[in-house]
Amino acid sequence: MSTQTARTQYEATDPMPEEYRDLLIRLLRIQADTETYLLFPKGWAQYAHIANLAPTLEDRVKVAQYLAEETRHGLIAYKLLRDLGVEVTEQEFEGEHRNLYVFDKWLESWTEFGLFNFLADRVGRFQAEEWIDSSYLPLARVAPAIVRDETGHGNAGFYNLRRICKTPEGRADVQRLLPQWYATALDMFGRSDSRRSVRYVELGLKRRTNGEARQAFVREVEPLIRELGLDVPDVTSLRKYL
């Protein structure tokens, strides 16, 4: 019962067109870039540092929960690649091999972790939402659980920032750090003029192009930034690419 709009769907072991496979592996490598960080020692060192900055014991437990969820995402991303015959190595998490620069920055403070959760984990949710009805069925299957976890991380970031913003010093600190983190989060969506991002949509690997997803993110996050009593940075400032 095929229709004109029905797309071809694939399992890992199905033969697939070369272009489809190349784009799929590229997409999964970018996912691995954000998610398999915690499968390697450098990622753990960063989050051991964060756990030790947690202001309360309850916050420390929440960091542990966060780590459990993100490490599981790492394993999922790793397995998705391995099932296609691609291995992820620790070297991919260094400098020029990285697709995203978001993890290059060492998180210094609890405030910075809050911004990271609020913005970068929220982008993680937007990315996973792209795959809910992906033509690559293994990706479609893992999407809902990742969306659920990343929704929790983004919300936790918002609540932590709200607590920090209750004092004038805290709010000033968030405002000072916000422009760079906002730009980094917006850059995570990739270039708006990417021809490849259009092909992802045409092949059913994603729902939206880079630019469309980024605009939806801006619409969601700007009112939240204002709710925190902060000034919204210009969407074009400090961006590495548009």
Binding site for Fe ion (CB under 5 A): 35, 70, 73, 121, 124, 150, 153
Least gap, CB of 123 to Fe ion (angstroms):
9
Q: Nearer Cβ to Fe ion, position 70 or 187?
A: 70
Helices and strands of the chain, counted as H and E runs? 9, 0
Q: Nearer Cβ to Fe ion, position 150 or 187?
A: 150
Least gap, CB of 134 to Fe ion (angstroms):
17
Q: Nearer Cβ to Fe ion, position 106 or 176?
A: 106
CA atoms within 13 A on the CB side of 33: 21
Least gap, CB of 1 to Fe ion (angstroms):
36
Q: Nearer Cβ to Fe ion, position 37 or 136?
A: 37
Token pair in block for residue 143: 């999407």
Q: How far apart are the first and last CA of the chain?
A: 42
Least gap, CB of 129 to Fe ion (angstroms):
13
Token pair in block for residue 142: 């893992």
Least gap, CB of 8 to Fe ion (angstroms):
28
Q: Are 32 and 97 a contacting pair, CB within 8 Å?
A: no
Helices (H), 83-209: 110-115, 122-129, 137-164, 168-187, 195-202
Q: What is the DSSP string of 76-129?
A: HHHHHHHTTT----GGGGSGGG-S--GGGSPP-SHHHHHHIIIIIIHHHHHHHH
**Measured CA distances, 139 to 27, 81, 142, 202 (Å):** 10, 11, 5, 16
Q: Nearer Cβ to Fe ion, position 21 or 79?
A: 79
Q: Nearer Cβ to Fe ion, position 161 or 203?
A: 161
Least gap, CB of 206 to Fe ion (angstroms):
17
Q: Are 196 and 30 a contacting pair, CB within 8 Å?
A: no
Chain centroid, CA 82 distance in Å: 20
